[in-house]
Structure 1
Amino acid sequence: MIVIGIVFVITQILLFWYSYKYQHKDDKRAYYYPHNNKLEIVWTMIPAVVMALLVFAGWKTWANITSAAPADAVVVEVMGKQFSWLVRYPGADGKLGEASVNFIDATNEMGVNFSDPNAMDDFMPREIHVPKGKPVLLKIRSRDVIHSVFLPHFRVKMDAVPGMPTKFWFVPSKTTAEMRTETGNPEFNYEVACTEICGRGHFAMRFILVVDEPEEYEEWLASQTPFIEQNPQLLTKFTHDSKDQVVLEKSAEEVKTEL
């Protein structure tokens, strides 16, 4: 922003100055000045050097947020679908259960494999909560088309691509309450937005993100109920064959429909 701001001010001053200085006058004639190699080199090299420095700085930042997250990072899975975000947290075991498109239905929208023991304590809240001052890892995927996870207040963005999981991590430094005080807006909220035009309902893809004090976050975490406890009927859809591989049970009517 500093670099762009400086360039903007200089170019705007020059633009208006030259427009004034070289305005049309009947008694003035233009000086013919077709080429200057030194000038060409100067105004090519300066932007090239500045852009190289900006790209290098951006690459370092990109490499940092997409590198392996710290071991104590809070893990949150975010899935994009037309036209909403779905969110899943690991439970007390700290591990997300497996998921597959084969298990997606009207209730199990994230396609979680509930034959995986790690999935039994996973929960899916209606808003994201993260603790202040701790690293947060977002694991991102898409269910249908390309979406883009954008946290404007944290200056981070990553595409959600079908069939290609992506991720980034960040550290929130101000709680939602602190931002409400700082902005003077009691209704301020951090949010997750979609910055990829993904269809007619693209505008509706907004999800609240709350930054809590660590103690408040732990209280919120303890109050969450595993998804499978809220939807125990899902367990009837999963069985195991003799090799302990997961098989999704299907009714005869479903099989006939597929055939």
Structure 2
Amino acid sequence: MTIIIGILALVFIALTVIVIGKTQDLLKGVQGKAEQEEDHHLDSSNDWNAIGLFVFWIVCVIGTVWSFLDARKDFLPEASSIHGRETDFWFWVSMSVIMVAFFIVNSLLFYFPIKYKFKAGQKATFYPHNNKLEVIWTVIPAIVMAGLVFSGLRVWNKIMDDAPEDAEVIEIMGRQFAWEVRYPGVDDNKLGDYDYRLIDDAKSNSFGIDFSDPNSFDDFTSATEIHIPKGKPVLLKIRARDVLHSVFIPHMRVKMDAVPGMPTKFWFEADKSTEDMRKELNNPDFNYEIACTEICGRGHFSMRLLLIVDELDDYEAWKKEQTPFLSMNPDFIEKVPDNLKARALKYIESDNSEAMVEVIEVTEESAE
């Protein structure tokens, strides 16, 4: 019996060893099959993800191109000023460079998931550094960006430089919520001085015109429209009465902030009159305008001013038809120094003005 039990024990041990061995083999087989199935599942998922990403990129490209072409009808027409066309040129150069780089980089970014997606048995190459590539993708963008920056700076410096000596000087002032314009008269073609302490809305002196300066005597103002000549440089002297405003002439590519207490300026040359633009756009109702692009209060939306670009001869004729501020507001003769009253009275429409001038001139001569 003991022998039989021993033999059975040995058989049991042998069978146990065999079963364990077979189980291990079976487990290995199941695991290998699971890994194969998992690898196949991963390959399939990676394929679909990579393809989906690339399709998404293609749809984005098509949508971007379509939206650009569809929106072109709403773009501003060709600039009506010399510096405006130069500004537009460099704007589109910058946009072209940026868009080319954008499409190349993103096309590669969406292509790489297809090219380098997970594959069973494939190992990634260890590639930590390449000096040549570092130099290439650092130097080339630096050169391109420097070129864009310096070309833009050249245009900006030219715009912000001193205006030509023959420029037409016009003062524009922003206030809540309107624009007012002051021109030099035809007699001296020079703007007179101003002093903010002389501002008096009750007496219509919203500019604070200083009548101790004889150049102010023939200046005239407007609050309904602004005229500028075609083909002649125009220097805008910009002021603000209360809060920040911003002079914006979209068709001229003119934009400059009006800052309280800090006069600014912008000079440009319009080379398309209002009539020229009406013919070019085939729109008889077209008008240039000046808008405020700095939110300045509740009435900001209404802060617009009609801009009329005249042929040079028409502009000069229009100026001669305007009435000096002093002529429309003769009470300001009191602000004129005694030694300048004779000159100022020439602009006062009065039956007795000539006699008053003669009396003042005699008085001045006697005083001398």
- Name the TM tier (shorter chain): 0.7 to 0.9
Instruction: Report the Cα offset of residue 199 of structure 1.
Output: 2.7
Structure 2 partner of 1:164: 262
CA distance in structure 1 between the aligned counterparts of 2:288 and 2:128, rounded to whole angstroms: 54
Number of equivalent positions: 242
Q: Aligned AA for 2:168?
A: V
CA distance in structure 2 between the aligned counterparts of 1:223 and 1:61, rounded to whole angstroms: 37
Task: Report the more deviating stretch, 14-23 or 140-149.
Answer: 14-23
CA distance in structure 2 between the aligned counterparts of 1:204 and 1:135, rounded to whole angstroms: 28
Structure 1 partner of 2:157: 63
TM-score normalised to structure 1 length: 0.81
Provide structure 2 residue ranges, at least 5 long, that are not aligned to the other structure: 1-91, 340-368
Deviations along 1:63-85, one digit per CA (max 9) or x if unpaired, are 22222222221111111222221
Higher Cα Rg: structure 1 or 2?
2
Q: What does 1:193-204 correspond to in 2, within 5 Å?
A: 193-204=291-302
Aligned: 1:2 with 2:99: no
Structure 2 partner of 1:256: none
Q: Over the residues paired in the alignment, what is the CA RMSD in angstroms? A: 2.8
CA contact (8 A) 2:211 2:336 kept: no
More strand by share: 1
Higher relative contact order (CA 8 A, sep 6+): 1
Aligned: 1:179 with 2:274: no
TM-score normalised to structure 2 length: 0.59
Structure 1 partner of 2:25: none
Structure 2 partner of 1:48: 142
CA distance in structure 2 between the aligned counterparts of 1:39 and 1:151, rounded to whole angstroms: 46
Distance verdict in 2 for CA 1:52–1:156, change over 3 Å = farther
Q: 2:176 aligns with which of 77, 82, 106?
A: 82
Distance verdict in 2 for CA 1:133–1:116, change over 3 Å = same
Q: 1:103 aligns with which of 182, 195, 198?
A: 198
Q: Aligned AA for 1:117?
A: P
Instruction: Report the Cα offset of residue 26 of structure 1.
Output: 7.0
Distance verdict in 2 for CA 1:100–1:176, change over 3 Å = same
Structure 2 partner of 1:127: 225
Task: Report the more deviating stretch, 106-115 or 143-152.
Answer: 143-152
CA distance in structure 2 between the aligned counterparts of 1:158 and 1:109, rounded to whole angstroms: 21
% of aligned pairs identical?
Answer: 56
Distance verdict in 2 for CA 1:111–1:63, change over 3 Å = same
CA contact (8 A) 2:94 2:148 kept: no
Runs of 4 or more consecutive aligned structure 1 residues displaced over 6 Å after TM superposition = none
Distance verdict in 2 for CA 1:51–1:14, change over 3 Å = closer
Instruction: Report the Cα offset of residue 27 of structure 1.
Output: 4.8
Provide structure 1 residue ranges, at least 5 long, that are not aligned to the other structure: 243-259
